Amino acid sequence: MSINNQSSLDDFILLGFSDHPWLETPLFIIFLVAYIFALFGNITIILVSHLDPQLDNPMYFFVSNLSLLDLCYTTSTVPQMLINLRGPEKTISHGGCVAQLYIFLALGSTECILLAIMAFDRYAAICKPLHYPVIMNQKRCIHMAAGTWASGFANSFVQSTLTVVTPRCGHRVIDHFFCEVPALLKLACTDTHMNEAELNVLGALLLLMPLILILGIYILIAQAVIKIHSVESRWKAFNTCVSHLLVVFLFYFTAISMYVQPPSSYSHDRGKIMAVFYGIVTPTLNPYIYTLRNKEVKAALRRALTKEFWHKTR
């Protein structure tokens, strides 16, 4: 690895995958393609959800929030990662590292709560169909979404601040490809047991509690679906939940393996692999999971493309 001697002493060095230099070019191509797909997929979902009147309902309001979140999620880390994979320097400024830490953690925290709200929306639609328009009215949906984003950024402010102020005694080499709490705590030159306890408590609150809530909600949904006599209606109800459950599994499995554990037991290679999944793979796949399995979204895309085609041919 080549590090420019003129880089500021306040800069952090992101080792990334420099211990396997032969991997850097293939990974650059893979991550660049994934980022392009993430941009295209999430922007498409946001535009279609807002422009098509037939998708003007709470489910797609929250799906578009998830797409916006995933769009910001990948953008907070992938561009810097691509620069470091291709350039001789593997650095990030102190301010850039703090901003990346804060934004990435805020968006991850927001997604934890948002996925639980999306599960509640499915519960209201399937188990309380007659009361659904009242339960999930527009004002309440906006308040729930705003509260979700505010909670995520508030949690990030606490965790990021406690992580940033931890003394590092000049240590600035991060064995990761972006600034993340467990990796930064490994640089600390003081006892970090309090930080680890705080991280685990907040991690449990923001990861395990929403996950338990989601699982409980889907048990109630399953009980309601079993009672539906029509096979077609039962399949339709089941199909609306499969996409969400798949997204939940992809996100929570990797996030829990990273954040509900002591950073002292943090494995660098395992941490990088898991971070690739919840930081790149999941945000890239989410819009395609919702699009490919959802007839309404596919129909809306066809309508949008058809309109665009006819406008161009006039």
Which residues have a Cβ under 8 Å from the Cβ of 294 and sit 6 or more positions away? 243
Model pLDDT, residue 269 = 65
Residue 121 lies in a domain: yes
Environment class of residue 8 by beta-carbon count within 10 Å: exposed (0-12), middle (13-18) or buried (19+)? exposed
Residue 3 lies in a domain: no
User: For residues 256 and 278, is the Cβ–Cβ distance under 8 A?
Assistant: no
Model pLDDT, residue 32 = 93
Q: Can you give the CATH number for the domain in which 184 is found?
A: 1.20.1070.10
Q: Which residue has the tokens 């691509």?
A: 82
Contacts 24+ apart (CB under 8 A), 190-199: 190/166, 192/166, 192/263, 192/264, 195/162, 195/163, 195/166, 195/263, 196/262, 196/263, 196/264, 198/158, 198/159, 198/162, 199/159, 199/259, 199/263
Encoded tokens for 27: 């990974």
Give bridge partners of residue 92 from the DSSP assignment. 12
Residue 89 lies in a domain: yes
User: For residues 11 and 179, is the Cβ–Cβ distance under 8 A?
Assistant: no
Residue 4 lies in a domain: no
Return the number of other C-beta atoms located less than 10 Å from residue 190's C-beta: 11
Into how many domains does the chain fold? 1
Residue 2 lies in a domain: no
Encoded tokens for 14: 């992101």
Residue 303 lies in a domain: yes
Give the up-direction half-sphere exposure of residue 220: CA atoms within 13 A in the CB hemisphere: 16
For residue 13, what is the enclosing H or E element? Answer: strand 12-14
Q: Measured between alpha carbons, how far is 73 from 273 in angstroms, rounded to an integer?
A: 17
Contacts 24+ apart (CB under 8 A), 134-137: 136/58
Residue 7 lies in a domain: no
Q: Measured between alpha carbons, how far is 221 from 120 in angstroms, rounded to an integer?
A: 10
Q: Measured between alpha carbons, how far is 10 from 170 in angstroms, rounded to an integer?
A: 9
Instruction: Give the range of the structural domain holding residue 69, as residue numbers without chain letter.
Output: 12-313
Model pLDDT, residue 247 = 86
pTM: 0.85
What pLDDT tens digit does each residue of the chain (314 aa) get? 444 444 556 788 888 777 777 888 888 999 999 999 999 999 989 988 888 888 888 988 999 999 999 999 899 989 988 888 887 778 888 888 899 999 989 998 999 999 999 999 999 988 888 999 999 999 999 999 999 999 999 989 988 888 888 888 878 888 888 888 888 888 888 887 787 787 778 777 888 889 899 999 999 998 888 887 777 777 777 777 888 888 888 888 777 776 666 555 555 666 677 778 878 888 888 888 877 667 778 788 788 777 654 454 45
E strand map for 85-222: 91-92, 173-174
Q: Which residue has the tokens 């659904």?
A: 132
Residue 6 lies in a domain: no
